[in-house]
């Protein structure tokens, strides 16, 4: 069984997906693919302004509904241990000359700390500048090896689409 968590940006991409209903159905029906929620992600989704529309609907409500359907009440709790692990990541990240400040990295590092603490298999994110940057990945591996944690695997939105057999129109190659 794959236990996964989606970064906030994945929910936004899912909402824009042409085949969202098919993809959502495939995710929900796959008993070997379990999506977990986390309070910081839900908070970020709740921070989407109510005035932003997606078609005629409120984007915030659509994305929160999608989040709730995909996580099915499987929410991971924040804890002091997770916060400490996130801070360890940040301190090592800075030692490796990471350029972003704690305010910019807190949610990302806390999400990865949560996934690590709860022994999740995969973190899906499109955030290559902070959460999945080379420096951040080095920091996770360094801290987790010292603390005897397994580092989750990091995949992108394209990997998620590929797993469920959904192709984007520009992914298809023209064959002459």
Of 54-68, 78-92, 110-124, 159-173, least confident by mean pLDDT is 159-173
CA distance 85 to 165: 35
The ranges assigned to domains in the chain are 2-167
Q: What mean pLDDT comes out for the span 156-173?
A: 80
pTM (predicted TM-score): 0.92
Q: What is the pLDDT of residue 169?
A: 52
Across 136-154, average pLDDT: 98
pLDDT tens-digit map of 26-64:
999 999 999 999 999 999 999 998 888 777 788 899 999
**Nearest CA-CA partner of 123 in 3, 29, 13:** 3
CATH number of 2-167: 3.40.50.1010
Banded pLDDT at 175 (limits 50, 70, 90): very low
């Amino acid at each position: 069984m794959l236990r996964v968590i989606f970064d906030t940006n994945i929910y936004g991409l899912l909402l824009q997906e042409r085949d969202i209903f098919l993809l959502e159905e495939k995710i929900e029906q796959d008993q070997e693919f379990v999506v977990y929620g986390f309070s910081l992600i839900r908070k970020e989704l709740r921070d989407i302004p109510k005035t932003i529309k997606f078609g005629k609907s409120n984007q915030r409500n659509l994305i929160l509904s999608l989040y709730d359907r995909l996580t099915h009440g499987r929410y991971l709790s924040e804890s002091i241990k997770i916060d400490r692990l996130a801070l360890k990541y940040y301190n090592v990240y800075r030692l490796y000359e990471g350029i972003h400040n704690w305010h910019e990295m807190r949610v990302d590092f806390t999400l990865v700390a949560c996934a690590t603490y709860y022994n999740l298999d995969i973190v899906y994110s499109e955030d290559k500048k902070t959460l999945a940057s080379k420096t951040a990945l080095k920091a996770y591996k360094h801290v987790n090896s010292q603390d005897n944690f397994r580092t989750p695997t990091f995949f992108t939105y394209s990997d998620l689409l590929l797993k469920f057999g959904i192709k984007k129109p520009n992914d298809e190659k023209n064959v002459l």
